[in-house]
Amino acid sequence: MSNSLAGWAVERLEDAELRVTVVPEKGADIVELLHKPSGVDALFKAPWGLQPPGSDPREGSEGLEILWNYEGGWQELFPNVNKAVVHRGKRIPFHGEVATLPWDVRRVGGSLHCSVQCRQTPLRLGRVMRLDEGALVLEETVTNESDEPAHFVWGHHCVLGP
């Protein structure tokens, strides 16, 4: 199976029950959550699909970075959700910044260790992904890398498909 999708490098976790595909350079988006016995991918796929890296922002994305190349699937929303905000003089986009940043992803045994450093706040988000008896398990942490308090809102944008 190819380790790329629409020109993006991907990482996969796979067992007898599930195949999970992650796009590290695109917010560590989870773009496939396939139940192998049934052949059903539970995640929504936008009809226009994932566009190659460097593509122009998608028509209708209205300046919202997360929508520039939105393909469906499952995104991490952090350090804010919904409206863009200004925090300590820095703009944080609609649905946060980590969904549009490249993440560091490394394979450790049968798991993927993913992390990203926010650019507008002193926060680092970490995610360990593993499969356990046909279930996807996410273990996540937030680290404040400064001595100052840092506020955040954290969510997941998991869109299920037909």
Q: If pLDDT is split at 50, 70 and 90, which confidence band does 1 have?
A: low
pLDDT in tens, 104-138: 999 999 999 999 999 999 999 999 999 999 999 99
Stretch among 48-52, 88-92, 95-99 having the lowest mean pLDDT: 88-92
Q: Which of 8, 34, 11, 7 is nearest to 22 (CA)?
A: 11
Q: Which of 93, 54, 46 is nearest to 71 (CA)?
A: 46
User: What is the pLDDT at residue 88?
Assistant: 86
Report CA dihedral (57, 61, 66, 72) to the nearest 10 degrees. Answer: -100
Handedness of CA 127, 6, 70, 47 (dihedral sign): negative
Please give the model's pTM, rounded to 2 decimal places: 0.95
User: What is the pLDDT at residue 73?
Assistant: 98
